[in-house]
Amino acid sequence: MRCTSLWKTVFFVVAGLVTLRGGDVVATPVQDTANNACTQIAHAVSSASGVFFPSDPTSHYASDVEHWAITSSQNSTCSVEPGTAKDLGSVLQILGRTRTSFAVKGGGHATNPGFSSTKGVQISLARFNGVTYNANTQTADVGAGLVWDDVYTQLLAHGVIAIGGRMSGVGVAGFSLGGGYSYLTNQHGLGHDNIVAYELVLPSGAVTTVTETSNSDLFFALRGGWNNFGIVTKFTMKTYPQGQVWGGIIEISSEHLDAVNAATLNYIENAADPKSALAASYVFSPSSGLVSLLVLFYSEPSPPSGLFDDFLSIPAIVQDISTRSYVSLVQSVPETANLRTFYHTVPHAFYDASTLNTIVNETSFWGEKLANDSFVSLTYVAEPFLPTILTHSTSPTAWPPSRNKAFLPTNVAIKWSDPAADTLMHDSISASVQNVINVANQDGQGLDNAPFYGNYALFSTPVQSIYGSNLGRLKKIKATYDPQNVMSLAGGWKI
């Protein structure tokens, strides 16, 4: 049986969410321990930090426990906003000593229950919110509590950009600690390939700066290791000159799907232009049926003629394409927060006509099958990055475990409203992804050892499928820097 303990943990978390929904607030052992830890933390930290309880009349507690997906939210016993790395060190020491369950939240976009939420102590990094651009090194120091929108806005004021999320609200921290696919990934690689230093609070409470030369083990581990090695408070990242970009969204009805697929395959066959990017979504919802939502991107004010013409000539329901700021493009991509949502992924080797047809069939098939179960939508996003995206960094990374071949992180999202359907939705998205993998394997994609992208993968995915042959080295590094296993008190992908 794979990953039994994770299963149990997650089942407990999901079950806990369901029981709490009725508003019955029964003290559990978790809360007793957590209450004690909250009190100790409040005494230990400096005035730069804050500790908040559910009765908090300010909005701190509410915003600290808030998450993009309802399924990823829990009401913690208290929330802590550390104001300094040193205070965060004290917090970790208390949590470790009292063995209190806790969670670490950056932007709160985790789509797996309990990955950044808890009934114990919620740590919010909201006060690590600085952006400092250093023109000499062309790097920026970015606080771990920020979302990319704020980073983009502040960096664009200096005429530069960093490698971050493609939709509004995504956190710098989870994105950068797991990989990070950006509109600029074809040009500059994954997000974490562009990070040169981390300020890290170790599980012991000590504050350290990790660079490739200062500590090659931790530098390797943080590039895909999330919260297994401590809590990052600041990222130093490369920046690149950036002016106006071109692009936006096009929404197309199902009668033109063949044209969408043809244009997508044509773009993939001919696109060698690293300044361009495409995300091709297929969305099925009971209200709108099947539609395609395309995001087109070019990192200059206009694309070379011909590059996107096929897409632009298809009759559209919505076509919002223009020359605009980078942040305006990111914020123009529609998203729906506050729903029950699970993400999953297929690590495709390539996209061909069979892949796209399979994806189209899957969205409609499950949409119709789940129509009576509070189903809202199923989305598959083809993300045709260039085969060269892993060549922008030569240093080894925790993820992906091999940099010899770039797999494509096809994103799958299922949304619904009824908590009673959580297991059904989990099983449905799993079955759908397995079917897409089976078809891909029949088509010769050879996905048996392809690494799953942990920022998309469903919680029941074994960590072995994310880290592959890196798991052994990661376990050793973990044993060195977290001998008391403090970070196992927080949810997430556990090494």
Ligand X SMILES: *[C@@H]1O[C@H](CO)[C@@H](O)[C@H](O)[C@H]1NC(C)=O
Among 13, 34, 110, 250, binds ligand FAD (CB under 6 A): 110
Residue 142 binds to ligand FAD (criterion: CB under 6 A): no
Among 31, 40, 49, 111, binds ligand FAD (CB under 6 A): 111
Q: In whole angstroms, how close is the CB of 111 to ligand FAD at the nearest point?
A: 5
- Interacting positions 333-362 with ligand FAD (CB under 6 A): 335
Identify what 109 binds: ligand FAD, ligand X, none; CB under 5 to 8 Å per kind: ligand FAD
Residue 82 binds to ligand FAD (criterion: CB under 6 A): no
Where are the strands (E) in 31-111, listed by range?
A: 50-52, 78-81, 102-105
Residue 432 binds to ligand FAD (criterion: CB under 6 A): no
Q: Which stretch binds ligand FAD (CB under 6 A): 7-15, 93-101, 102-110, 314-322?
A: 102-110
Residue 384 binds to ligand FAD (criterion: CB under 6 A): no
Identify what 174 binds: ligand FAD, ligand X, none; CB under 5 to 8 Å per kind: ligand FAD
Identify what 73 binds: ligand FAD, ligand X, none; CB under 5 to 8 Å per kind: ligand X
Which residues make up the interface to ligand X (CB under 6 A)?
A: 17, 20-21, 73-75, 361-362, 365, 369, 371-372, 435
135: which DSSP letter?
A: T
Do residues 207 and 322 lie in contact, with contact meaning Cβ atoms separated by under 8 Å?
A: no
Q: In whole angstroms, how close is the CB of 484 to ligand X at the nearest point?
A: 30
**How many other C-beta atoms can be found within 10 angstroms of the C-beta atom of residue 257?**
18
Q: How far apart are CA 314 and CA 307, in angstroms?
A: 14
Q: Is 451 left (phi over 0), alpha (psi -120 to 50) or beta?
A: beta
Distances (CA, A) of 1 to 5, 6, 15, 344: 10, 11, 21, 20
| Cross-strand bridge partners of residue 490 | 102
- Interacting positions 165-194 with ligand FAD (CB under 6 A): 165-167, 170-171, 173-175, 177-181
Tokens coding 267? 């773009």
Query: Burial of 369 by CB count in 10 Å (0-12 exposed, 13-18 middle, 19+ buried)?
Result: middle
Residue 227 binds to ligand FAD (criterion: CB under 6 A): yes
**In the block, which residue shows the tokens 């939420």?**
117
Closest CA to 490 of 158, 118, 225, 198: 118
The residues that touch ligand FAD, with contacts defined as CB under 6 A, are 68, 104-111, 115-116, 125, 144, 165-167, 170-171, 173-175, 177-181, 226-227, 231-232, 335, 455, 490, 492
